[in-house]
Structure 1
Amino acid sequence: MKLLFPLLALIGGIAVAIQSQVNGNLGRNVGVIEASFISFLIGTLALFFAVLFFGNGNLMAMASVPKWQLIGGLMGAIYVIILVFSVPKIGVAATLAGIIAGQMIMGAVIDHFGLFGGERFPVDAKKLVAILLLFVSLYLFNQK
């Protein structure tokens, strides 16, 4: 069980890499915003059927949650547009290096301050070195 969540995260990363290239190619053929829309439309349909057949939550509860909890889809749209735009120009690996660096930095800020209702996980020297190494990685990926 201890390896389940890291394994799921690894599978998620594999899916994101595949999604990046597929959406980048789609963007070349139909346009950046259009490809992003198509990607979200297909994802929405997949989730609709998942909710329909497997869901056991309460969709109507979304009317009562704090409104800031509803921006996840907007953040996802920004992410997909950036993928579709960037992958054809710098490649999947360089795009994902930047995205991962951004995720780690913002994740560290969110954890450190316990933002958005999260538990606090303070940033220490080891995490700061890891973030610095992310910037080195980003630099190296974009060197020609």
Structure 2
Amino acid sequence: MILFGILLAAIAGAFVSMQTVFNNKVNEQTGSWTTTMLVLFMGFVASLLASLIFEGKNTFTLQHVQLWYWFSGMIGVGVVFCLVQGMRRLGPTYAISIVLTAQLGTALLWDSLGWLGLEKIPFTPAKLIGVLVIIGGILVFKFGGRKETKSESPVAE
């Protein structure tokens, strides 16, 4: 069961990266808000169809859901908009690595404090070191490479 969860999480990570590239290509032809609207509308259509196929009439059973959780779609607007803008300014690898690190750090905070109805999981120095190692990896990725100069650029012979 754990391996299946790992596989699904890895697929989700690949999907986020792929979606970000696609969103960026749409953004090049339109604008950030048009891209955000298009992405979320297409996501709505796809998830509505999948829900109707797999859950049938239970799709519209929304009992016992606290009202404030219904606003998560609005958070999605910020996610898509910020991803499109971040990728345009930083490139896909750097932007996604920062996004994933921010996700991990935020999840660690929420888990440790038990926010949003999550089971409180004790904060440990090892967890903090894990996040710091990832941040160090991003810094090495961004600043640790050799910079190419114009004289080192390949020339056609």
Same fold (TM over 0.5): yes
Partner of 1:61: 62
CA distance in 1: counterparts of 2:79 and 2:6, whole angstroms: 22
Q: Higher relative contact order by CA 8 Å / sep ≥ 6: 1 or 2?
A: 1
- Written as runs of structure 1 = structure 2, the 5 A alignment for 1:74-113 is 74-113=74-113
CA distance in 2: counterparts of 1:33 and 1:97, whole angstroms: 23
CA distance in 2: counterparts of 1:36 and 1:142, whole angstroms: 27
Q: Normalized against structure 1, the TM-score is what? A: 0.90
CA contact (8 A) 1:97 1:137 kept: no
Partner of 1:9: 9
Identity of aligned residues (%): 24
Q: Deviations over 1:13-61 (max 9, x none)?
A: 1111110101011111110111011001111000111122212535242
- Written as runs of structure 1 = structure 2, the 5 A alignment for 1:95-134 is 95-134=95-134
- Give the residue type in structure 2 aligned to 1:51: S
CA distance in 2: counterparts of 1:141 and 1:35, whole angstroms: 29
CA distance in 1: counterparts of 2:26 and 2:139, whole angstroms: 27
Q: Pairwise CA RMSD of aligned residues?
A: 1.7
CA contact (8 A) 2:51 2:59 kept: no
CA distance in 1: counterparts of 2:12 and 2:92, whole angstroms: 15
Partner of 2:153: none
Structure 1 alignment gaps of length 5 or more: none
Structure 2 alignment gaps of length 5 or more: 148-157
CA contact (8 A) 1:27 1:35 kept: yes
CA contact (8 A) 2:101 2:135 kept: yes
CA contact (8 A) 1:25 1:88 kept: no
CA contact (8 A) 1:93 1:141 kept: no
Q: Deviations over 1:65-94 (max 9, x none)?
A: 322212321222111111111212211111
Count of matched residue pairs: 143
Larger radius of gyration: 2
